[in-house]
A and B are shown apart, each in its own frame.
Chain A
Amino acid sequence: MAGENVKHLTDAEFEEYVLKSDLPSLVDFWAPWCGPCKAIGPVIEELAGDYSGKVQIVKMNVDDNPTTPGKYSIRAIPTLILFKGGEIVDQVTGAVGKTQLVTMLNKVA
């Protein structure tokens, strides 16, 4: 099921897909060399299925896409940012669990 639910976003797509979207978005800023990022991968997958149609859950590889992380001053990953109407609603860094992410997502879902 890996990668089925979660879109991998690029710098070029970010504005159109996240900032201008009618749906709220949770962006998981990650990289393949980051253990905690890989550890939360399955949780992100699961949530993307659970919140389908309510919140867009997407991933952005910070190695391939430096512009967006730079814009949001990201110097630690995994960082997850929740956007709604082009604005940041909430933000968390580290290998957080499903319960904490559900609480975060329910603010906008």
Chain B
Amino acid sequence: MANTDYQLIILGGGPAGLTAGLYAARDRLNALLVEKGVVGGQVLVTDWIDNYPGFPDGLSGFDLVEKMSAQAKRFGLETKNGNVVKLELSQTQKKLILESGEELTSQALIICTGARPNKLGIPGEDKFTGKGVSYCATCDGPFYRDEEIFIVGGGDTAVQEADFLTKFASKVTVIHRRDTLRATKVLQEKAFANERVDFIWDANVIAIEGDREVERIRLRHNNGEEKEIAARGIFILIGTIPNSEFLPLQLLGGDDRGFIITDDEMRTKVPGVMAAGDIRSKTVRQVINGAGEGAVAAIAAEHFLSGLD
């Protein structure tokens, strides 16, 4: 094998990356986890997690990540803060080029860069982000005490956060483009039972308007009817897009939405490069399978490094 800085580099420190790091550290690999922000990823903004087994009373996303991080560090996982802007991949060497100009090399690489909130792509959305447009209920909800909030979406996040936001808001209205929700039934039941959660069905938000802050939204019903509603807060919770802009997707194998395709062992088309977590092309995006995929990827990396692969 080529002479590299590390045997394994893990790119991204969410549940998948931290779990890969735990397995690599326990396997005594010379491994490094590179994270561009702070470890945790999207789960940091999850107010409460009741579906990660082992915690019968549930726990906050922050607490779960802190435990995962502490567990990986207990076995000596090294972490580094840095923003990777380019990858150069070959069979024997994986080179990461950071924004600072620094270069890191490894023999194996696990990509766990995750995903970020999707945008509606409508007029006013970017202009008013942080000024009435939000993608994170737990971060921004309390700024809307006793006000009315609108949510766009119909999946788990949208429906769970609708219920959560009634802690602060006087009323929460979920705007959904269909007439049924995609969210898990138990979350739907909770939202339907909450008298301060209301729904507008079969409608899309087509514009967000105001002067310095959000003042109103424009709705278009599926029957073609348009309507203007006064609004100060609109939470856009419509799924995620991959953090894959800087990745050589053609080389790795990517789907048409920019997620990485892997085999069952989390291997990409490039030998020694694995992907795990929300960056993968898949249908279920939960903390539990993100973590599971991190473990599988670390074991695949170990096999590659031992030449078994």
Hey, which bits of chain A sit against chain B, CB under 8 A? 31, 33-40, 43, 62-63, 73-79, 93-100
Contacts and interface: CB of A to CB of B under 8 A. Distances in A.
Nearest to B128: A75
Interface string B125-148: 000011110101011101100000
A95 B38 CA distance: 6
Contacts of A77: 139-140
B142 A73 contact: no
Given A36-B38, A97-B82, 10 more contacts: A35-B46, A39-B40, A39-B44, A75-B131, A76-B129, A76-B143, A78-B139, A97-B81, A99-B99, A100-B83
B5 to A, nearest CB: 18
B123 interface: no
A99 B47 CA distance: 27
A38 B138 CA distance: 12
Contacts of A34: 138-139
B23 interface: no
Interface of B: 35-40, 44-47, 60-62, 65, 81-83, 99-100, 129-132, 134, 136, 138-140, 142-143, 212-213, 233
Nearest to B214: A75
B237 to A, nearest CB: 15
B62 A39 contact: yes
A33 B142 contact: yes
A11 to B, nearest CB: 16
Contacts of B99: 99
What 6 pairs between A and B have smallest CB-CB spacing?
A35-B62, A76-B130, A35-B44, A97-B81, A97-B37, A39-B38
Contacts, number: 84
Nearest to B132: A75
Contacts of B38: 36, 39-40, 43, 95-97
Given A34-B138, A39-B44, A75 B130 contact: yes
Contacts of A40: 38
A89 to B, nearest CB: 18
A78 B292 CA distance: 30
B36 A97 contact: yes
Q: Which of B62, B65, B82 has its CB near the most chain A CB atoms (within 10 A)?
A: B62
Contact of B81 (A31, A75, A99): A99
B179 to A, nearest CB: 31
A99 B140 contact: no
A76 B140 CA distance: 5
Contacts of A33: 138, 142
A76 B134 contact: yes
A21 B45 CA distance: 34
B65 to A, nearest CB: 7
B136 A63 contact: no
B45 A36 contact: yes
B40 A95 contact: yes
7 contacts: A35-B45, A35-B62, A36-B136, A43-B38, A76-B136, A97-B35, A97-B81
Contacts of A39: 38-40, 44, 62, 65
Contacts of A73: 131, 212-213
Contacts of B134: 75-76
Nearest to A70: B143
A39 B44 CA distance: 8
A78 B130 CA distance: 11
Contacts of A98: 81
Contacts of B140: 75-77
